[in-house]
Structure 1
Amino acid sequence: MGLKILHANQFTTEELTDFYNQTRVDYLVPMPMSVAVMAEYIHDFDISLENSPIIIDEKTEDFLGLGMLGVRGDRTWITRLGVTPASRRRGAGAAIMTSLFEASKKLKAKKTILEVIKNNTPAQSLFEKNGFKKTRELLVLRRAPIRPPLSPEGEITWLYRKDALDAIRSSPHHLTWVNDIASMENASMFQGFRIQLKDGTRGWLVYRHKKRTLTHFEFNTERGSPVKMARNILLFLHLQYPRMDAYTENFYADDPHIPAFFDLGYFEAFRRIEMIKEYS
């Protein structure tokens, strides 16, 4: 089968959404996208469409697979990579990876980052063969819209755009691509708040506020117990938005705030593995 490589800037957002959804019909964790969500994703995560390959059958021109490349300075990020079920093990995945690597080298990237669903062994093997090394496990957590039975302790101060960005810039933690400062600067709706408890525990939460969902949480405990800080700040959050779902992704599995999520009714939806390829 002959393969032809086109680029995502040759297609409409509607076409890209359809292509992506074709690759996810039997995926380990189904993640379909709407056209609006795809457009937001491209904008917020700095996807370079001219460097994102679309693979088609050279003879029939049928769509086979795609990959998207986020670009920020000397880093690139591989995302939305997928091949249609009927086209797997026919070279499309390798062609996508080769195209993404070539683009990263042309852009003089020092490293390329990606995340893969844990237990997606074929994908992990493909990435490892291409020089990626596992770094950490990342948790994706969800919570149904249930009003908390308790009230939070402590004094709350709201953080609006400027102050929320300042808080994220001050974070001592390594942030993944979807949660870091560039993603938040690109986002249209986000805010947060600080909390100060009587025992001196203090910290902050920044989150994105979408139409029906709270997403992309970033925490930092500046003093005291991370679990106590996170539990009370999450209580306050869900009292403000009792009818909204919560979906937070890419928390490191060893993040000290995690127990507070489970105390508040969150559950683990799935895990990702962060992998990095460095260029010499």
Structure 2
Amino acid sequence: MFECPFELVPASSFSADELAEIYNAGRVDYIVPMPMNAKRIQNYVRTYDIDLDASVIILDSDNQPAGLGMLGVRDDRGWITRLGIIPAKRRAGMGMCMMQALIAAARTRYVRLIQLEVIEGNDPAHRLFLRCGFRETRRLMVIRRPPEPPPPEEPPIAGMTVSQLTQDEIWACLAQRGPGASWVNENASLVKVEKLDGLRVKLPSGYSGWVIFQCKRFEMTHVVLQIPAPVREQMMIGLLYHLHRLHTQQDTKIENIPVTEMAQPVLQQFNYVEEFRRIEMFLHL
């Protein structure tokens, strides 16, 4: 039985500025640091249903914050995220302490399944999660496309049509999604995103698909695609062509796509670059 020698306190005891400072300090040597400020922390908590009373700050021997771990809760599912310990304060067992505290908090909230993602190559964290009982489920990609001139005016698929989705149509499309989206791309996350846009593409074969996204002045995020399997490559070409014909100034980030669902040659055709991969892991309680 593991006994934690460190004190843990609820993350709700700290301000958003303090949480951002602790989080950033724990990520300075991380493979992908992903820095945050107070506003981003607040938005993250709201969008992904983070329970700050269940999330933890671990303290060092001087009773100063040494690390952060967050727990999101949706019905009977939990999500562990933003786990990190400040490098100079890392001690053997700190990671296990935070994980056990987060798992215990999930149990008290009647969670039956906890999920998380770990970046490929972060072997210490991967080993920790395995020791806690998590098992791998699949690989997810994070891809990016820098702002570029639009694709050629001549459509790559003759006869395809495109239409803009209304807000009602966007929510109707999302309501028809099947299971399997990652936590950040679930409808429960997207419903909290400010102003989503969407496009529908219909191929000459009769198949249709859609892309829904949030477009800001300099970035496009929260991108989700519905692609019929029989015409996967053609539909990807159609959707990405029209998306980037209409939006040329944005840095586009598509997050947590299952590796098996996207055609790599099409991504390369539109100059997407794979930034990194995540390993999704589940723990059944």
Taking structure 2 as the reference length, what is the TM-score of the superposition? 0.92
| SS across alignment from 1:49 | coil
Percent identity, aligned pairs only, is 36
Shift in alpha-carbon separation, 1:215–1:228, aligned structure 2, 3 A: same
Amino acid at match of 1:155: T
Q: CA deviation at 1:230?
A: 1.4
Shift of 1:160: 3.5
Deviations 1:7-27 (A, max 9, x none): 111111111111100011010
The match for 1:133 is: 135
Counterpart contact for 2:228–2:235, Cα < 8 Å: no
C-alpha spacing 1:161/1:55, structure 2 compared with 1 (3 Å) = farther
CA contact (8 A) 2:219 2:251 kept: yes
Larger displacement relative to structure 2 (131-140 or 35-44):
35-44
Within the alignment, does 1:235 sit opposite 2:227 as a pair?
A: no
Q: Is the 8 A contact 1:227 1:258 kept in 2?
A: no
Q: CA RMSD in A?
A: 1.7
For the residue of structure 1 that corresponds to 2:226, the secondary structure is strand
Residue 110 of structure 2 is matched in structure 1 by 108
Secondary structure in 1 aligned to 2:125? helix
Please report how far the alpha carbon of residue 224 of structure 1 lies from its aligned counterpart in structure 2 after TM superposition. Answer: 4.6
Q: CA deviation at 1:63?
A: 1.4
Q: How far does the alpha carbon of each residue in 1:157-197 deviate from its partner, in whole angstroms, 9 at most, with x for none?
A: 21233321221221235100000110011111312111112
Separation (CA, whole Å) in 1 of partners of 2:267 and 2:112 = 35
Q: In the alignment, does 2:277 pair up with 1:274?
A: no
Structure 2 unaligned blocks of 5 or more: none
Q: Determine if contact 1:201/1:223 at 8 Å carries over to the other structure.
A: no
**Using a 3 Å threshold, how does the CA distance of structure 1 residues 190 and 258 change in structure 2: closer, same or farther?**
farther
Per-residue deviation, 1:149: 3.0
Give the Å deviation of 1:61.
Answer: 2.1
Runs of 4 or more, structure 1, over 3 Å off, are 256-259
Q: What is the aligned residue count?
A: 278
Task: Look up the match of 2:196.
Answer: 190
Q: Do 1:148 and 1:264's aligned partners in 2 also have CA atoms closer than 8 Å?
A: no
Question: AA paired with 2:58?
Answer: I
Q: Paired residue for 1:92, among 71, 91, 94? A: 94
The 1:9–1:162 alpha-carbon spacing in structure 2 relative to 1, beyond 3 Å, is: farther
Deviation at 1:257, TM superposition (A): 4.5
**Equivalent residues of 2:151, 2:244 under 8 A apart:** no
Q: Tell me, yes or no, if structure 1 residue 55 matches structure 2 residue 61.
A: no
Q: Secondary structure at the match of 2:191?
A: helix
Q: Which residue identity lines up with residue 239 of structure 2 in the other structure?
A: I
Structure 1 gaps of 5+ residues are none
Secondary structure, aligned partner of 1:51 = coil
Instruction: Give the aligned partner of residue 207 of structure 1.
Output: 213
* Local SS of the residue matching 1:3: coil
Return the alpha-carbon distance in structure 2 between the equivalents of residues 190 and 32 of structure 1: 24
CA distance in 2, matches of 1:188, 1:44: 10
**1:211–1:112 Cα change, 3 Å:** farther
Question: Residue 254 of structure 2 corresponds to which residue in structure 1?
Answer: 248
Kindly indicate whether the alpha-carbon contact (under 8 Å) linking 1:74 and 1:108 is maintained by their aligned counterparts in 2: yes
In structure 2, do the counterparts of structure 1 residues 173 and 217 end up closer, same or farther at CA, with 3 Å as the change threshold?
Answer: farther
Equivalent positions of 1:149-228 (< 5 A) are: 149-151=151-153, 152=155, 153=157, 154-222=160-228, 224-228=230-234
1:80 is matched with 82
- The separation in 2 between residues aligned to 1:83 and 1:133, in whole angstroms, is 22
User: Matches of 2:239 and 2:79 in 1, distance apart?
Assistant: 31
Q: Tell me the secondary structure at the aligned position of residue 261 of structure 2.
A: coil
User: What corresponds to 1:26 in structure 2?
Assistant: 29
**Does the C-alpha gap of structure 1 residues 20 and 240 become closer, same or farther in structure 2, counting only changes over 3 Å?**
same
How much does 1:101 deviate?
0.5
Partner letter of residue 192 of structure 1?
Answer: G
